[in-house]
Structure 1
Amino acid sequence: MPDFRVVVIGAGLGGLALAQGLRQAGVEVAVYERDAALTSRRQGYRLHLDSEAHDCLLRLLPSHLGKLFLATAGMPDPRFVLLDEQLNQVMSQHSGQTTDFAVDRLVLRQILLSGIEDAVVFGKQFRGYETGSDGRVTAHFADGSQTGGDVLVAADGVNSVVRKQYLPHARVVDTGVRQIYGTIPLTQHTRALFDDTMFGIFTAVAGRERTFLGIAPVEFPEPPQDAAARLAPGTRLPPTSDYMTCSFGARREWFGDNLSTMSGPDLHEIMSEGVRGWHARVREIVAHCDPATMFAFPLRTSVPISPWPATPITLVGDAIHAMSPAAGAGACTALRDADRLTSALTAVKTGAHNLVDAIRDYESDMTDHGFTMVRTAAANGQRFLGQDPLPGQPS
């Protein structure tokens, strides 16, 4: 298919990674993102990537950007640790991976955008699509413009507009848990607040009333801007330094008020109140969480669905299998999707595979893996975070 074109809705991790992979394979790709820029919304800080996600990224990125990713990815101790509110160890579990990585979300997104800026259009709000008699798909935008392609990929996240039209029966539900996120700069003083057990992939401190505090490090092998200047001079990375993520979560009934409208200082006050009576070091950790970095949102999850007939429309990442963070697998699964879909669409471009058959094979693998991780994350979240059971699963 010499004029094969892929239209991607959404410039999150999955959408940008897919675009990088397709660009490397010589497939024409265009990405449309509703936000005005990568930095328009706070979407989180640290991401956990496992060995498979690492391998996917190195296949999808050109060599110099793969090296930049490695130069900006920390390698925490491969353990998940659970402590009680007085910092007594309750559980310690090895991740089971050969290597785990802790990366900054914005740094990774900037790396994924590098070199494909000409293929990404910001400020384009997707409204819907239609499929023509020739099988091509036309995407329509809020400003009245439209674009066509042989494939339309939903990479527009948990609130996917594409999914709502294409798979209206696919549900995303509230888990019943709310979480406040912030960061603590790792200085000589603040590092002393964290012992060695807290520098693993993730450390959870469980309190009463199903409250919990989560902490996890982001430590750069070298400053991201220095790494970019050395390895990819055209890539602009944010001026960030080592930090510890700090999150506080509880059931929605515990919070009561609408967290989404609260200021950073108000959220910091809630977090501080939540750990009152906990170990003095926990209270000190929370005291150092920067209110300017704090935001809150509800934890949501997709509900697995049965397979659907393959068409030139498909999905990646949270657009189809959003999950609780309790498995640390959301970003990993999105990158896995991008890698598998890149291979499938490259085979179509070269004539080695029929389009619908290629998408069917991709979706079979994607849903098997993605929905398995949704169920795993839901079970972990029910056990450790107090979230609601996944609909249709044992309570």
Structure 2
Amino acid sequence: MNSELHVLIIGAGLGGLTLAQGLRKQGISFQIFERDASAEARGQGYAVGLHDPEKLFGGSLPDEVFSSVRSSCHLLPLQLPSCLAMFFPDGRAGYVTDSPETPCLRAHRLRLRQALARDLDIQWGKRAQRIEEGEDKVTVWFEDGTHAEGTILVGADGTFSAVRPHVLQKPNSEVLEVSTSSTLTMGECRLDRANMESQLQLAYSCYVAYGPDFILFSGLNRVSDDGSYGDYYWMMVESREVGDDHWVKTGTAEERLRKSKERIQALNPKFRVTVEKTEVEGLKKVVAWYDALIEDIPPVNRVILIGDAAHPMTPARGEGANHAIKDAVGLSKLLAENKDQPIDILRQKLDELQRSLVSEGNQAILLARQVMAKARQRERVEKPMVWGHEVKIVDEAVPLPLELK
């Protein structure tokens, strides 16, 4: 281990874990802290699409960790490639499928996080409360009364980052914006083998379908170990702005589910399955999406932000996790290349990287906003992109082949 450089990582999500593994491979000293009490303290979210994993991780992970990442596909034990479909209002369909030409991996988020956490000593229940940057160190104090000291600190703690307010010197409430394009209803259901197969023939991983005044996203989260059922989730996004008194925001779970099942009748029956199979217990709380364009970030001293802490973005284009991982890979490589440099030079390198990460993230945020605006206005998108690849458009959808054991 390098005896001089010691990195404090706040947040054990996908970005923080990727950074920790990159530092571990490079022999750089680090500690990683997570505010949750344990890995099972809260839901891990849904499956995540990774753009070309080989390129994304760029050789930054230990070999055994990257092998585990490749095994986190949400379709296992089914031997099917990750695949997203889009069903447009004009009857066309579009697909992106994992292949040598368009490599991608839709990973089960918990499996992916477990893979990236391999052999790491994560300190759980550590909610950052205060950060102080000095001449020779940075110190973070946690709510439990403990503290840690390091050379630099990395805020990898997501949209509602506890580190960001220290960097920007303003609370998250003054930074984050509620996306006006993201009023939605959301639910989960479990489909038996027959119903799962009907959905797999539409898209192995997930699909988007357009209703008259809403957009439906339906996705497979995971398949049971014996392949007998699949856990699905869906989001119905409003195609227009709604007031605070709209049923999406004010209705009970029963009312929102009933309304969703009524509205889904406007779609072809094959697209209705996940909503129609949802019970009231499977309806999730009303969700709002947040993003933020951080334009004026102060020069880096000893604290740098990555992932949604640096550029919080909505799931509209499914790019948040990819940017977090890309940020972490870039930071781990920079630290490896400059670990013996004086702190002034390291600060300069970190500041250049920070501004690059924020700029690239802001571009992705603007694209996500544009995508949602076009979708709401039902504008035709000539060359849509998914998972880092251009969607292959066909004039008419056809059932995908299934060869399941």
The one-letter code sitting in structure 2 at the alignment partner of 1:59 is G
1:164 matched residue in structure 2? 165
Q: Does 1:331 align with 2:333?
A: no
Q: Does 1:288 align with 2:277?
A: yes
Q: Does 1:26 align with 2:15?
A: no
SS of corresponding position for 1:65? helix
Structure 2 unaligned spans of 5+: 379-405
1:16 matched residue in structure 2? 17
SS of corresponding position for 2:71? helix
Check the 8 A contact 2:18/2:328 in 1, yes or no: yes
C-alpha change, 1:44 and 1:292, in structure 2 (3 Å) is farther
Check the 8 A contact 1:48/1:100 in 2, yes or no: yes
Alignment of 1:25-174 (within 5 A): 25-51=26-52, 53-57=53-57, 59-73=59-73, 74=75, 76=81, 79-84=84-89, 89-92=91-94, 94=96, 98-116=102-120, 118=121, 120-134=122-136, 136-168=137-169, 171-174=175-178
The CA distance in 1 between the partners of 2:244 and 2:198, in whole Å, is 27
Q: Does 1:321 align with 2:293?
A: no
Check the 8 A contact 2:50/2:106 in 1, yes or no: yes
Task: Give the root-mean-square deviation of aligned CA atoms.
Answer: 3.3
- Quote the sequence identity (%): 23
How much has 1:258 moved relative to structure 2? 8.0
How much has 1:126 moved relative to structure 2? 0.9
How much has 1:6 moved relative to structure 2? 0.7
1:346 matched residue in structure 2? 336
SS of corresponding position for 1:216? strand
Residue deviations 1:325-354 (CA, integer Å, cap 9, x gap): 121211111100110011111223244993
How much has 1:216 moved relative to structure 2? 2.8
SS of corresponding position for 2:261? helix
The one-letter code sitting in structure 2 at the alignment partner of 1:280 is P
Normalised to the residue count of structure 1, the TM-score between the two structures is 0.80
Residue deviations 1:121-153 (CA, integer Å, cap 9, x gap): 11111112011232x111011122211111111
The one-letter code sitting in structure 2 at the alignment partner of 1:92 is G
C-alpha change, 1:198 and 1:95, in structure 2 (3 Å) is closer
Check the 8 A contact 1:31/1:121 in 2, yes or no: yes
Check the 8 A contact 2:65/2:115 in 1, yes or no: yes
The one-letter code sitting in structure 2 at the alignment partner of 1:256 is H
2:395 matched residue in structure 1? none
The one-letter code sitting in structure 1 at the alignment partner of 2:55 is D
SS of corresponding position for 1:295? coil
How much has 1:2 moved relative to structure 2? 2.2
SS of corresponding position for 1:89? coil
The CA distance in 1 between the partners of 2:151 and 2:331, in whole Å, is 14
2:217 aligned to 182, 193, 214, which one?
A: 214
1:203 aligned to 202, 207, 219, which one?
A: 207
The one-letter code sitting in structure 2 at the alignment partner of 1:63 is D
Residue deviations 1:272-325 (CA, integer Å, cap 9, x gap): 244244333333331224655543421111114145312211011111111121
2:234 matched residue in structure 1? 246
SS of corresponding position for 1:3? coil
The one-letter code sitting in structure 2 at the alignment partner of 1:349 is K
The CA distance in 2 between the partners of 1:38 and 1:79, in whole Å, is 28
How much has 1:186 moved relative to structure 2? 5.2
Check the 8 A contact 2:257/2:283 in 1, yes or no: yes
The CA distance in 2 between the partners of 1:71 and 1:213, in whole Å, is 29
Aligned residues: 362
Residue deviations 1:87-120 (CA, integer Å, cap 9, x gap): x63452658972121111111111111210x2x1
The one-letter code sitting in structure 2 at the alignment partner of 1:41 is R
The one-letter code sitting in structure 2 at the alignment partner of 1:316 is I
The one-letter code sitting in structure 1 at the alignment partner of 2:62 is P
2:362 matched residue in structure 1? 371
1:390 matched residue in structure 2? none
Structure 1 unaligned spans of 5+: 227-238, 388-395
Check the 8 A contact 2:127/2:143 in 1, yes or no: yes
